[in-house]
Amino acid sequence: MKKALPIILLILSLAACKDLDTVNNNNPDRNAVLTTGSDLLTVLQGGYIAWWQGVHDDHPVIALSVTGDAYGMGWANFGAERMGEEPRIPYNNRASEENDYQQVVKDPWFGCLSAVSSANDVIAAIDKGVTIDNGGPQDEAILAAAHFLRAVSWGYLGLLFDQTFLVDENTDLGKPLTLVPYTEVIPAAITDLEMAIMLAESSDISFIHEYFNGLRLGSEDFVQLCHSYAARFLTQWPRTEQEKALVDWTAVLAHAELGLTFDFAPIADGKFWQSYQSYVFAEAGIGPFWARVDQRLVAALDPSQPTRYPEVIAKGEPPLSNPEANSADKRLETDFLYFPTNNFPPDRGEWHYSHYKHNRNITDPTFAGDGSSSGPMPVFLAADNDLLRAEALLALNRSPEAVAIINAGTRVTRGELPPLGPAAAFAEVDRAIRYERAIELLSTAPMSLWLDRRRNGPRLSYLEVDDLGGLQIGTPAQLPVPAEELRIQGLAPYNFGGPLDPEGVVAVF
């Protein structure tokens, strides 16, 4: 694949497109490499792989899921052990750190910016006359795919990082670029998603999107996917409860009402298309000894369980009186697998311990494969979109409608829990939504519980965590621009989290 990348992005195609045979000419003249319609297809395909790997792979998902108390993992791999320390420590954003740890920020940063660069190249080339069918439906489909790619790349840069570059096809790459805050990046992502929607809806029935491995989306499915990502970005961008008050719930609802009616799940190929799910499923292809379900979620399923695993060896605390949980939720039986013993070293923190792993891909083979070489990789469920609708309705004081969505959804159909009453209080409905997002969406949307916890509650002491509440005090609630990029820009490295930044949102230099 030939790509023209600006000088600041020289490293990113190698960092993000693992194993992809990429030629990087380091040449901002797009016309030098994009001259035919087939070039457009090739560059787009590479961009989608870069985005997928930057957002859905073991880095950054495992570390951010552990620090968000979705999983416990006492191994050093993927930055999980350090980002799961209790009490929390800052993410040490320094180029001197080992690469595995740096990849927590480097992989999503360089992967998403590489994807943006690919999208910009395609949009600019079409604008300058590179074509497949002279402005016909194929060109429109390519242009829609490029705007979608840029949108979801900007969207995740806005969800994850405090600031980033907002570079489009008209940016003069010969001039210095400016970092802009995430509050400007999310609206840009929504604008691009709306452009992709407009292009797809204006196309004829021949519109086809084939850039996700194993999926062939017509215009209706593609438009649904665009609306759902818009609803996700508009809902999950806040870093704190205070910022959550600024969410445009009317816009969230408008997009979610037109969102997914199917589960979005690209297919694993064992090469370019793999996901973090291989490390969190109970019996995935890589093995059953990786992440456990965090004890906070075990306590959500069974309130008689503690929300933090006792430190029996380290502090002599009493062990769990009954390590096997009980729950009225049928999903404890269908989606989770009990293990009588733990396999993490106790000196790395017994708080990582849990007796459960996520097992839904085994009991429901249509849900997922192994996250590595076979089967679907679910990353946006129709149930997720329904819960975004319900959350927006609740926030807009339309609680009965939110209750109707919850009662028609997975709480009852899969969990076999009792329906909420039509006059359920706000707090009860809100908890039901949070519960479904934590249990039903586990191991689907990448980093979702970290994104939800940071916006849904105050920061909590590591010794006093509850089941569905906020992040632990000192947990990074966003990522810094990688030290490597800051060095190129002549800027000082900075961290988030730790005792000097209890909310995880103030840069510490």
pLDDT at 242 over 70: yes
In the chain, what are the helix, strand and coil shares in percent, each to the nearest 5? Answer: 45, 5, 45
Q: What integer pLDDT is reported at residue 289 of this predicted model?
A: 78
Residues 6 or more apart in contact with residue 286 via CB below 8 angstroms: 278, 279, 370, 372
The DSSP line for 37-49 is HHHHHHHHHHHHH
Q: Single out the residue of 436, 293, 444, 288 nearest to residue 376, CA to CA.
A: 444
Determine the 3-state secondary structure of 473 from DSSP: coil
Which 8-state DSSP code applies to residue 465? -
pLDDT of residue 283: 75
- Residue 102 pLDDT greater than 70, yes or no: yes
Instruction: Calculate what percentage of the chain has a pLDDT beyond 70.
Output: 93
Q: How far apart are CA 489 and CA 194, in angstroms?
A: 32
Written as six digits, the tokens of 37 are 């319609």
Instruction: Inform me whether the pLDDT recorded for 1 exceeds 80.
Output: no
Please check whether residue 126 lies inside any domain of the structure. Answer: no
The SS3 call for residue 71 is: strand
- Could you tell me if residue 292 is inside a domain? yes
Q: Is residue 432 part of a domain?
A: no
Q: Which of 26-35, 123-132, 408-417, 442-451 has the lowest mean pLDDT?
A: 26-35
Q: Which of 224, 222, 244, 221 is nearest to 234 (CA)?
A: 244
Which is it for strands 179-181 and 356-358: parallel, antiparallel or unpaired?
Answer: unpaired
Q: What is the model's pLDDT at position 9?
A: 40
**Residue reference for tokens 């998403």:** 112
pLDDT band at 28 (very low <50, low <70, confident <90, very high): very low
Q: Do 167 and 125 form a contact (C-beta atoms < 8 A)?
A: no
pTM beyond 0.85: the answer is yes
Residue 461: which of 298, 240, 307 has the closest Cα?
307
Cα dihedral 18/21/23/24 (nearest 10):
0
Q: For 444, phi and psi rounded to 5 degrees? A: -120, -100
pLDDT per residue over 246-298, tens digit each? 999 999 999 999 999 999 999 999 999 999 999 999 876 666 679 999 999 99
| Helix intervals (H) in 440-505 | 448-456, 483-489
Of 145, 118, 260, 283, whose CA–CA distance to 203 is shortest?
145
Q: Is residue 13 predicted with pLDDT exceeding 60?
A: no
What is the structure's pLDDT at 287?
A: 61
Q: Is residue 373 part of a domain?
A: no
Q: What is the mean pLDDT of the chain?
A: 93
- Count of residues for the chain? 509
The number of folded domains in the chain is: 1
Task: Evaluate whether residue 392 is within a structural domain.
Answer: no
Count CB atoms within 10 A of the CB of residue 319. Answer: 10
Q: Is residue 324 part of a domain?
A: yes
Q: Omega before 60 cis (within 30°)?
A: yes
pLDDT per residue as tens digits for the range 372-387: 999 999 999 999 999 9
Q: Evaluate whether residue 322 is within a structural domain.
A: yes
For Cα atoms 79, 263, 78, give the angle at the middle one, nearest 5 degrees: 5
| Residue 137: per-residue pLDDT | 85
The token pair that represents 96 in the structure block: 């001197």
Indicate whether 20 pLDDT > 60: no
Residue 473 and residue 490 in contact, taking contact as beta carbons nearer than 8 Å: no
> What's the Cα-to-Cα distance from 88 to each of 75, 265, 449, rounded to whole Å?
16, 33, 17
Domain interval for residue 342: 276-363
Contacts of 187 (CB under 8 A, 6+ apart): none
Residue 131: exposure state from Cβ atoms within 10 A (0-12, 13-18, ≥19): middle
In the chain, the N- to C-terminal Cα span, in Å, equals 39
In this structure, are residues 34 and 41 in contact, taking their beta carbons and an 8 Å threshold? no
User: Is the confidence at residue 31, as pLDDT, over 60?
Assistant: no
A 10 A CB-CB count for 225 gives 26
pLDDT in tens, 143-197: 999 999 999 999 999 999 999 999 999 999 999 999 999 999 999 999 999 999 9
pLDDT exceeds cutoff 70 at 5: no
* Phi/psi-derived region of residue 497, left when phi > 0, alpha when psi is between -120 and 50, beta in every other case: left
Angstrom distance (rounded) from CA 306 to CA 6 = 51
| The two three-digit tokens of residue 476, written as one number | 């990074």
Q: What are the beta bridge partners of residue 380? A: 264
CB 129 within 8 A of CB 36: no
| Selection from 367, 344, 332 nearest residue 290 by Cα | 344
Residue 298: inside a domain: yes
pLDDT of 16 reads: 39
| 35 Cβ contact list (under 8 Å, min separation 6) | 130
Task: Give the integer Cα–Cα distance in Å for 353 and 179.
Answer: 40
- For the chain, give the percent of residues with pLDDT over 90: 88
Alpha-carbon gap, residue 294 to 469, rounded angstroms: 13
* Per-residue pLDDT at 238 exceeds 90: yes
- Per-residue model confidence as pLDDT tens digits over 302-349: 999 999 999 999 999 999 999 999 999 999 999 999 999 998 999 999
Measured from the Cβ of residue 29, the count of other Cβ atoms closer than 10 Å reads 10
